[in-house]
């Protein structure tokens, strides 16, 4: 849910979701890949009418959710809000279309509910797994390049579900978070921000209360995250954040842009960045952890346990990132082209095993 959301944006998100499902296919696992779809609502999530719009939207799409479309939290909405609105719209669950595929439906639903109840240091597991996957993508790229974690600087746009968790996992791995942007602007400190303090001072929409900032923390304009001196940029807020014009402001220190958000880097910007030696790690791989975790948990590949979820997420993300970067090297393409090629290779395999949607 965001003000200005367009049909073209939702089509792009649906295409990305389809690829994420194919990329996480593992013939040994219980999780059945589900294809891909997406919904979008053009409304400011903080507007007083937002919740009513969500309920009416879910009521309108109810026949799809009852039979073949699963949906869940994303930009502007938390799963708690989606669950409450879904119940009000007369739905059993926002993922009920999957229930007939489960071996033991009640055990599976209990496992998912238990997993949603798990919290780690004040943040729900459902809000952490996605960022765990983003952070692991960064670490895998650093490892391949032989770059140490300690001292590697990171600038993040967005401190909501994805940006917040990514910042936590990266700072705990020893990287230095030097800038963070939210709707109010950018907070920066070249010596490193106190990530846990920022996380603890967020409102329900991921905006940070500035009164907790420390001496030395700077308040800068909203786009300052993009020009921060860092090795890694993590756009984790909105689509289309980096375009052909503003990519010029990306610092020469930056080596990776890691797409925690969906579609944050526009294609023409990516070409120009590649010419400058900046590698863009694509959304379809980097931020796919949350979606996959729902299904790993529901289908029973993992239990309702944070350590198990993080370990499984890390292993899966590292395998995907390594495969993608090796393919990009072998084909002489970008990581995104390599990820799309891997997804395209998988689709006939999936169709062969599960048949085509009819």
Report the interface residues with ligand NAD, using CB under 6 A: 73-76, 130, 157-163, 181-183, 205-207, 222, 236-239, 260-262, 287, 290
Nearer to ligand NAD, 185 or 303 (CB): 185
Question: Minimum Å distance from CB 233 to ligand NAD?
Answer: 13
Question: Minimum Å distance from CB 57 to ligand NAD?
Answer: 17
Nearer to ligand NAD, 105 or 194 (CB): 194
φ/ψ of 181, rounded to 5, equals -110, 145
Checking 63-67 for CB contacts under 8 A at 24+ apart, the result is 65/91, 65/94, 65/96, 65/97, 66/91, 66/96, 66/97, 67/97
Residue nearest to ligand NAD (CB): 160
Question: Minimum Å distance from CB 183 to ligand NAD?
Answer: 4
Question: Minimum Å distance from CB 221 to ligand NAD?
Answer: 10
Nearer to ligand NAD, 39 or 190 (CB): 39
Please tell me whether residue 234 adopts helix, strand or coil conformation. strand
Residues 21/35, Cβ–Cβ less than 8 Å: yes
Q: Say which residues have a Cβ less than 8 Å from residue 222's Cβ, sequence separation at least 6.
A: 181, 183, 184, 185, 186
φ/ψ of 188, rounded to 5, equals -140, 155
> What single-letter DSSP state applies at residue 31?
P
Question: Minimum Å distance from CB 163 to ligand NAD?
Answer: 6
Nearer to ligand NAD, 193 or 237 (CB): 237
Nearer to ligand NAD, 38 or 153 (CB): 38
Question: Minimum Å distance from CB 351 to ligand NAD?
Answer: 25
Burial 170-204, CB ≥16 within 10 A → b, else e: bbeeebbbbbbbbbebbbbbeebbbbeebbebbee
Nearer to ligand NAD, 108 or 258 (CB): 258
Instruction: Name the strand (E) or helix (H) holding 256.
Output: strand 256-258
């Amino acid at each position: 849910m965001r003000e200005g959301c367009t049909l073209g944006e939702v089509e792009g998100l649906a295409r990305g979701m389809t690829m994420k499902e194919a990329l996480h296919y593992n013939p040994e696992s219980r999780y059945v890949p589900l294809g891909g779809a997406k919904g979008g609502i053009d409304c400011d999530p903080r507007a007083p009418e937002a919740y009513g719009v969500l309920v009416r939207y879910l009521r309108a799409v109810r026949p799809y959710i009852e039979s073949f479309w699963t949906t869940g939290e994303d930009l502007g909405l938390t799963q708690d809000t989606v669950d409450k609105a879904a119940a009000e719209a007369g739905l059993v669950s926002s993922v009920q279309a999957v229930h007939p595929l489960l071996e033991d439906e009640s055990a599976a639903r209990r496992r998912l509910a238990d997993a949603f109840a798990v919290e780690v240091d004040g943040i729900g597991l459902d809000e952490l797994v996605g960022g765990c996957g983003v952070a692991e993508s960064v670490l895998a790229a650093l490892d391949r390049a032989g770059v140490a974690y300690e001292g590697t600087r990171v600038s993040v746009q967005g401190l909501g579900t994805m940006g917040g968790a990514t910042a936590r996992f990266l700072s705990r791995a020893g990287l230095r978070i030097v800038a963070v942007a939210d709707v109010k602007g950018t907070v920066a400190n070249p010596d490193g921000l106190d990530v846990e303090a920022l996380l603890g001072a967020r409102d329900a929409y991921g905006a940070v209360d500035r009164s907790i900032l420390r001496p030395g923390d700077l308040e800068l304009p909203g786009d300052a995250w993009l020009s921060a001196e860092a090795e890694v940029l993590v756009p984790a807020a909105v689509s289309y954040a980096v375009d052909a014009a503003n990519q010029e402001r990306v610092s020469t220190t930056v080596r990776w842009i890691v797409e925690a958000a969906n579609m944050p880097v526009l294609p023409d910007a990516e070409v120009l960045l590649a010419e400058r030696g900046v590698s863009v790690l694509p959304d379809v791989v980097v931020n796919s952890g949350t979606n996959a975790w729902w299904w790993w948990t529901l289908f029973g590949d993992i239990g309702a346990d944070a350590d198990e979820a993080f370990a499984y997420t890390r292993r899966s993300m590292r395998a995907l990132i390594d495969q993608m970067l090796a393919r990009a090297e072998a084909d002489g393409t970008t990581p995104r082209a390599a990820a799309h090629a891997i997804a395209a290779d998988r689709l006939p395999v999936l169709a062969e095993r599960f048949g085509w949607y009819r």
